[in-house]
């Protein structure tokens, strides 16, 4: 059983210690929590934890005897920072580094598992489904079962294993392919940063949409303030409003975006938008999102939403979607 905790959107999706305590307290009587999961940079919020925040989480895990599961892409061989961190004057700090610089009683007792995979920004090979984990301070009895499971039940495809080996041992200065590797890696980082900045500006210029700047990662996570009619229709269909928004966007513009509620966000509506794409592709995507969103708000503003042919088609499709969900 999971006990969700919320990031603080008003503080650029910060990890809040009091919220961790709230999630732990409310879970008591229903389940016994064994671990805490952290994504850094946040997926899909793009937040990046500073050292103080990381120390607080580690101390929380130690005090509550929780296994610390950390999903973080490790440092780039070129820059010494995480590949997908692009916020100005922000440095990626790994949980392992912070833990090993804390007091001995924490450094030697906190159980932590750090994950890395081919999904990182500069490799971006999510489909190959390969990664690795580093286990720290795990009880030897538990490690026996972990090793057994990894040796018998999990086999990454050969292409994934080869690519993972290349990610961990990239070309070095002096190697024939180093210059090409360096150019492509830096181009990917620059494209990611530029795309994030361009997308952020457009999203914040749209009425009824707002987005915090991402510090890292490959997503932006804008908040939607949808017209009342959309929210009412979604409620009638048994859907979250951002899910209905995404279905309407797919039908009208042929774009597939992730709905925020699929990422665990409840009580508010968001979109999950990947910005690690070629600039010309992003330009087309943003144009379609803008066109759709402005039509949506114009219909509500002009009071003609119910009269449009497109609206009737959308509601018909939405009813089918609602039936499939139910």
CB atoms within 10 A of CB 99: 23
C-alpha torsion sign, points 313, 314, 319, 325: positive
Residue 22: band (very low, low, confident or very high) from pLDDT cuts 50, 70, 90: very high
Whether 321 has a pLDDT exceeding 80, the answer reads no
Mean pLDDT across the stretch 13-27? 94
pLDDT at 152: 75
pLDDT digits (tens, 9 = 90+) for 193-210: 999 999 999 999 999 999
282: buried, middle or exposed (CB in 10 Å: 19+, 13-18, 0-12)?
buried
pLDDT at 313: 47
Residue 19: band (very low, low, confident or very high) from pLDDT cuts 50, 70, 90: very high
For residue 168, list its beta bridge partners.
none
pLDDT digits (tens, 9 = 90+) for 261-312: 654 455 689 999 999 899 999 999 999 999 999 998 886 655 544 434 344 4
Query: Following CA atoms 313, 318, 324, 326 in sequence, which dihedral angle do they give, to the nearest 10 degrees?
Result: -140
pLDDT digits (tens, 9 = 90+) for 118-157: 876 677 777 888 888 899 999 988 998 888 887 776 677 8
pTM of the model as a whole:
0.82
221: buried, middle or exposed (CB in 10 Å: 19+, 13-18, 0-12)?
buried
Q: Taking a C-beta distance cutoff of 8 angstroms, is the pair 67, 99 a contact?
A: no
pLDDT digits (tens, 9 = 90+) for 58-114: 999 999 999 999 988 654 443 333 456 777 777 888 899 999 999 999 999 999 999
pLDDT digits (tens, 9 = 90+) for 235-269: 999 999 999 999 999 999 999 999 986 544 556 89
Q: What is the DSSP letter of 260?
A: G
Encoding tokens for residue 241?
């409003």
Encoding tokens for residue 279?
């600039």
pLDDT at 73: 63
Residues in the chain: 326
Query: Following CA atoms 100, 101, 107, 112 in sequence, which dihedral angle do they give, to the nearest 10 degrees?
Result: -50
């Amino acid at each position: 059983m999971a006990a969700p905790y919320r990031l603080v959107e008003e503080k650029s999706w910060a990890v809040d210690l009091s919220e961790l305590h709230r999630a732990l307290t409310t879970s008591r009587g229903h389940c016994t929590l064994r671990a805490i999961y952290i994504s850094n940079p946040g997926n899909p919020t793009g937040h990046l934890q500073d050292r103080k925040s990381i120390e607080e989480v580690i101390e929380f895990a130690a005090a509550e005897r929780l296994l610390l599961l950390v999903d973080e892409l490790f440092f780039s061989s070129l820059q010494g920072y995480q590949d997908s961190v692009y916020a100005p004057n922000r440095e990626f700090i790994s949980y392992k580094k912070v833990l090993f610089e804390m007091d001995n009683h924490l450094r030697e007792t906190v159980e932590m598992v750090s994950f890395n995979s081919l999904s990182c920004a500069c490799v971006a090979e999510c489909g190959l489904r390969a990664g690795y984990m580093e286990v720290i301070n795990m009880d030897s009895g538990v490690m026996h079962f972990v090793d057994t499971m990894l040796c018998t039940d999990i086999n990454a495809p050969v292409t994934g294993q080869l690519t993972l080996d290349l990610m961990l041992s990239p070309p070095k200065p002096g190697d024939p392919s180093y210059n090409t590797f360096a150019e492509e890696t830096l181009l990917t980082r620059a494209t990611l940063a530029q795309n994030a900045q361009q997308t952020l500006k457009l999203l914040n210029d749209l009425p009824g949409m707002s987005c915090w700047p991402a510090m890292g990662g490959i997503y932006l996570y804008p908040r939607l303030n949808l017209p009342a009619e959309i929210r009412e229709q979604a409620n009638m269909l048994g859907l979250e409003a951002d899910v209905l928004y995404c279905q309407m966007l797919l039908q009208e513009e042929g774009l597939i975006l992730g709905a925020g509620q699929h990422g665990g966000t409840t009580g508010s509506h968001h979109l999950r938008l990947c910005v690690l794409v070629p600039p010309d592709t992003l330009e087309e995507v943003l144009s379609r999102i803008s066109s759709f969103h402005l039509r949506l708000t114009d219909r509500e503003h002009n009071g003609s939403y119910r009269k449009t042919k497109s609206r009737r088609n959308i509601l018909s499709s939405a009813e089918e979607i609602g039936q499939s969900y139910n």
